[in-house]
């Protein structure tokens, strides 16, 4: 019905009907009072503005957790080897290889077309943390695997040491890039946390890796793991709170409701228990070290799952998207108006 | 192929195709959706499905006026929204008020039919100041992918499945997409989604096939009121400004253009709109910003965090080494 002809050169025979204003022909009385001030909370039938992530639990939150555990474990593994703590090196390298491998499995499993995983390595894009992460993992996972294999079997010791060092260099990046991965989205509860999220993630990774090694490595060798785990746990606790507080109240809300609320609370309780237990009994008691280590690992996992579900909730809540944007928009407008007034005066 | 970080410039906004490596390309093409003439017929939704073989995705009763497709997604690339409001129509009076202008009692000549005024009294008369105008209006708007200049979906796609065409539009290559789903929460408008049972992501292609042959997209072709207008973006922007002035002059003062500029958070849209109320009312974000605008800072902080972890680990060995 649209008889305007569209050509590569542009429109031809444009028709005028689209200019019609209802009521003009009938000459109805013009009304000037039609501006209605916008109501405070408007949305389209309460429907979300953005589409919620299709990422599934436990794949993706598990992936976040495992990446942190693996990355920080590689540091303990290499450190253990270099400082001749063989038990610590063994445990941490095994943890890094297992967690790294599992995180890759989780990532592939979550794809809509798992058979096409290798398409990830078709291009390298710094604008896509997932692309960067895929390349990172494709270097890290084999390195961590080789390091563990050599540590366990004693085979290829030189290559094993090189792989351990390689994994220790890549490890921190593996633990932290996932923060960019999720905060580089339009999901309010993730994006608004982008300034603090990387630090929360590495702290959470340190807590998990430290906790695991503390629980599984010989007491005599687990000093560094305990230090790393306790420091990580403490920073994780503090920064998760700080991150929430940097957010707009409409966004922060998603951390205090539903699944996220319980997971974040559990994370706090577990991590706090792990820290206290670690201080009190981590050095001397096998059982104490085991329990407090396990608490740190579980706390770290809960933090990741909590952040994941807060993101999902905020994506479903139109006000989490709309309110901060509306306020930003109003500010911009009043700023522009102010500038105009300045100009008129000056 | 290495994707550059966003280069924000007005040149890029005018012709994203050149910024993305096309030496020789047609002018940037786009949509101008003038919702003030939309009648909610959904011809665009149907035409889009027909032309693009988009599967049926449920004909649901949603209790959202005449909207039964709910939102954009893998299987809805044009979505007609219906908003019922207790607000006056601006100048577009429906002509139902018999005491002012009744077609029936007009000059008392049209038959001897009794005036239907009593019936009309039952219609909503919500005007608080007691004015006799009916405060009810029905807004309809056909939503679509905005084909952003700084497109978050395109930036974050790790496989390069999403790409920029020579027309400056953003299209998914279905033979490359591995369904990682990153683009879905990256889009600030909730445009893309994963198709069930298929795993891949689907969205509006701005009828890449049709426009490559000089045809207009199916939705614009089917739109009976020309609410959906397709053409060179520059020309559309000019046309939209004219239309806005016309509506303002006519007293429809709520009318506003949405995403018509080049300076917004997405570097300018390839598909923009004329709305009769605030964007929120249509479920559109008032100040969308492409997430990758913050990515350089994120990378720096990720680097700093990685460094901090490394340093903490080293120090935990040093201090325990005694
Ligand atoms: S509107 Fe969303 S899907 Fe469309 S180009 Fe922009 S970011 Fe991509
Ligand atoms: S789901 Fe497909 S189109 Fe979307 S980011 Fe992943 S590979 Fe690209």
Tens digits of residue pLDDT in B287-298: 999 999 999 999
Pairwise CB contact (< 8 Å): A35 & B294:
no
User: How far is Cα A16 from Cα A146, in angstroms, rounded to an integer?
Assistant: 71
pLDDT of residue B195: 96
> Pairing mode, if any, of strands B2-3 and A124-125?
parallel
User: How far is Cα B27 from Cα B24, in angstroms, rounded to an integer?
Assistant: 10
Mean pLDDT, chain B, whole residue set: 85
Q: Per-residue confidence at A23, pLDDT binned at 50, 70, 90?
A: very low
3-state secondary structure chain A: CCCCEEECCEEECCCHHHHCCCCCCCCCCCCCCCCCCCCCCCCCCCCCCCCCCCCCCCHHHHHHHHHHHHHHHHHHHHHHHHCCCHHHHHHHHHHHHHHHHHHHHHHHHHCCCHHHHHHHHCCEECCCHHHHHHHHHHHHHHHHHHHHHHHHHCCCHHHHHHHHHHHHHHHHHHHHHHHHHHHCCCCHHHHCCCCCHHHHHHHHHHHHHHHHHHHHCCHHHCHHHHHHHHHHHHHHHHHHHHHHHCCCHHHHHHHCCHHHHHHHHHHHHHHHHHHHHHHHHCCCCHHHHHHHHHHHHHHHHHHHHHHHHHHHHHHHCHHHHHHHHHHHHHHHHHHHHHHHHHHHHC
Nearest-CA distance B122 → chain A (Å): 22
Q: Which CATH architecture has domain B26-147+202-284?
A: 2-Layer Sandwich (3.30)
pLDDT of residue A332: 87
Q: Per-residue confidence at B21, pLDDT binned at 50, 70, 90?
A: confident
Q: Out of B62, B186, B246, name the one closest to residue A186 (CB).
A: B186
Taking only the tens place, the pLDDT of each residue in A110-146 is 999 999 999 999 999 999 999 999 999 999 999 999 9
Which ligand lies nearest to the CA atom of residue B179 in the structure?
Answer: 2
CA-nearest residue, atom 8 of ligand 2: B157
Which ligand lies nearest to the CA atom of residue B180 in the structure?
Answer: 2
Q: Which of residues 179-238 of A touch B (CB under 8 A)?
A: 179-180, 183-187, 191, 194-195, 198-199, 201-203, 205-206, 210, 223-228, 231-232
Residues of B in contact with A75 (CB under 8 A): 309-310, 313-314
Length of chain B measured in residues: 322
Q: Per-residue confidence at B12, pLDDT binned at 50, 70, 90?
A: confident
Taking only the tens place, the pLDDT of each residue in A307-317 is 999 999 999 99
Q: Which of residues 29-68 of A touch B (CB under 8 A)?
A: 29-36, 38, 42-45, 47-55
Q: Out of A20, A51, A203, name the one closest to residue B73 (CB).
A: A51
Q: Structure pTM? A: 0.86
H or E element that contains B272: strand B271-275
* Preferred mutation among A34, A138, A183, A282 to probe B, highest tally of B CBs within 10 A: A34
Residues of A in contact with B132 (CB under 8 A): none
pLDDT of residue A270: 98
User: How far is Cα B28 from Cα B97, in angstroms, rounded to an integer?
Assistant: 46
pLDDT of residue A155: 93
CA-nearest residue, atom 2 of ligand 1: B187
Lowest mean per-residue pLDDT among A65-69, B120-124, B315-319: B120-124
pLDDT of residue A20: 56
pLDDT of residue B239: 96
Nearest-CA distance A40 → chain B (Å): 10
Atom of ligand 2 nearest to the CA of B192: 4
Going by the DSSP 8-state scheme, the letter that residue B67 receives in this structure is: B
Taking only the tens place, the pLDDT of each residue in B53-109 is 999 887 788 889 999 999 999 999 999 999 998 877 654 444 444 444 334 433 434
pLDDT of residue A341: 76
pLDDT of residue A268: 98
Would you say residue B19 has pLDDT above 50?
yes
Mean pLDDT, chain A, whole residue set: 90
Q: Residue range B264-281: average pLDDT? A: 96
**pLDDT greater at residue B103 or residue A274:** A274
Residue of A nearest to B215 (CA): A6
Residue A243: both structure tokens together: 């991150």
Lowest mean per-residue pLDDT among A252-256, B6-10, B75-79: B6-10
Q: Angle B131-B135-B140 (CA atoms, 0-180°, nearest 5)?
A: 155
- Check if the beta carbon of residue A189 is closer than 8 Å to that of residue A255: yes
Going by the DSSP 8-state scheme, the letter that residue B166 receives in this structure is: T
- Check if the beta carbon of residue B257 is closer than 8 Å to that of residue A297: no
Per-domain residue ranges for chain B?
26-147+202-284
pLDDT of residue B17: 87
Nearest-CA distance B113 → chain A (Å): 23
Would you say residue B227 has pLDDT above 70?
yes
* Preferred mutation among B316, B319, B321 to probe A, highest tally of A CBs within 10 A: B316
Lowest mean per-residue pLDDT among A82-91, A328-337, B119-128: B119-128
Lowest mean per-residue pLDDT among A10-14, A185-189, A325-329: A10-14
Q: Per-residue confidence at B3, pLDDT binned at 50, 70, 90?
A: very low
**DSSP 3-state assignment of B289?**
strand
Domains and CATH numbers, chain A: 54-331 (1.20.1630.10)
Q: Per-residue confidence at B124, pLDDT binned at 50, 70, 90?
A: very low
pLDDT of residue B297: 98
Q: Residue range B228-255: average pLDDT? A: 94
User: How far is Cα A168 from Cα A71, in angstroms, rounded to an integer?
Assistant: 7
Would you say residue B7 has pLDDT above 60?
no
Would you say residue B319 has pLDDT above 90?
no
Taking only the tens place, the pLDDT of each residue in B298-310 is 999 999 999 999 9
């Amino acid at each position: 019905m649209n008889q305007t002809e569209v050509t590569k050169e542009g429109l031809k025979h444009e028709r005028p009907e689209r200019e019609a204003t209802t009521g003009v022909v009938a000459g109805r009385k013009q009304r000037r009072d039609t501006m209605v001030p916008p109501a405070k909370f408007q949305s389209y039938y309460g429907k979300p503005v953005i589409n919620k992530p299709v990422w599934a639990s436990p794949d993706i939150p598990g992936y976040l957790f495992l990446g942190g555990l693996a990355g920080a474990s590689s540091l303990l593994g290499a450190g253990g080897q270099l400082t001749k703590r063989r038990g610590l090196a063994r445990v941490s390298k095994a943890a890094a290889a297992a967690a790294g491998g599992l995180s890759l499995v989780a990532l592939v499993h979550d794809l809509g077309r798992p058979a096409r995983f290798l398409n990830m390595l078709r291009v390298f894009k710094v604008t896509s943390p997932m692309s960067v992460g895929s390349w990172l993992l494709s270097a890290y996972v084999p390195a961590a695997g080789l390091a563990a294999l050599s540590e366990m079997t004693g085979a290829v010791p030189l290559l094993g040491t090189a792989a351990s060092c390689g994994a220790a260099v890549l490890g921190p990046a593996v633990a932290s890039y996932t923060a960019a991965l999720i905060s580089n989205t339009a999901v309010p509860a993730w994006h608004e946390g982008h300034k603090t999220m990387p630090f929360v993630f590495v702290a959470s990774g340190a807590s998990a890796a430290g906790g695991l090694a503390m629980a599984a490595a010989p007491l005599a060798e687990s000093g560094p793991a305990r230090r790393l785990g306790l420091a990580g746990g403490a920073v994780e606790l503090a920064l998760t709170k700080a991150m929430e507080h940097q957010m707009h109240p409409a966004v922060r809300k998603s951390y205090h409701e539903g699944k996220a609320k319980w997971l974040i609370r559990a994370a706090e309780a577990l991590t706090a228990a792990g820290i206290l237990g670690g201080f009190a009994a981590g050095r001397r008691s096998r059982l104490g070290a085991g329990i407090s280590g396990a608490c740190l690992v579980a706390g770290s996992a809960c933090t990741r799952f909590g952040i994941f579900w807060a993101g999902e909730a905020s994506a479903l809540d139109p006000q989490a998207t709309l309110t901060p944007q509306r306020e930003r928009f109003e500010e911009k407008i009043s700023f522009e108006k102010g500038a105009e007034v300045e100009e008129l005066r000056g | 192929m290495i994707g550059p970080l966003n280069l924000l410039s007005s040149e890029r906004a005018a012709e994203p195709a050149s910024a993305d490596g096309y030496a020789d390309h047609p002018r940037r093409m786009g949509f101008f959706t003038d919702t003030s003439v939309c009648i909610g017929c959904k011809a665009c939704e149907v035409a889009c499905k027909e032309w693009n073989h988009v599967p049926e995705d449920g004909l649901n009763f949603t209790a959202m006026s005449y909207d039964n497709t709910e939102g954009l997604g893998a299987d809805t690339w044009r979505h007609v929204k219906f908003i019922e409001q207790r607000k006056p129509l601006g100048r577009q009076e429906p002509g139902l008020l018999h005491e002012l202008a009744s077609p029936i009692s007009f000059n008392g000549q049209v038959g001897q039919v009794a005036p239907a005024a009593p019936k009309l009294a039952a219609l909503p008369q919500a005007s608080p100041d007691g004015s006799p105008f009916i405060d009810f209006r029905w807004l309809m708007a056909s939503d679509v992918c905005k084909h952003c200049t700084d497109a978050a979906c395109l930036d974050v796609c790790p496989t390069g499945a999403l790409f920029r065409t020579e027309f400056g539009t953003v299209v998914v290559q279905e033979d490359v997409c591995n369904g990682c789903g990153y683009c879905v929460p990256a889009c600030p408008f909730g445009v893309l989604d994963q198709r069930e049972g298929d795993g891949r992501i689907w969205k509006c292609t701005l009828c890449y096939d049709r426009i490559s042959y000089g045809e207009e997209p199916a939705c614009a072709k089917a739109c009976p009121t020309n609410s959906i207008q397709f053409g060179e973006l520059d020309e559309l922007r000019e046309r939209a400004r004219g239309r806005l002035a016309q509506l303002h002059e006519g007293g429809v003062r709520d009318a506003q253009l949405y995403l018509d500029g080049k300076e917004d958070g997405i570097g300018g849209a390839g598909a923009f709109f004329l709305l009769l109320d605030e964007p929120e009312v249509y479920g559109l974000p008032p100040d969308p910003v492409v997430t990758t605008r913050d990515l350089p800072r994120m990378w720096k902080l990720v680097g700093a965090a990685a460094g901090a972890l490394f340093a903490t680990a080293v120090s935990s060995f040093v201090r325990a080494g005694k």
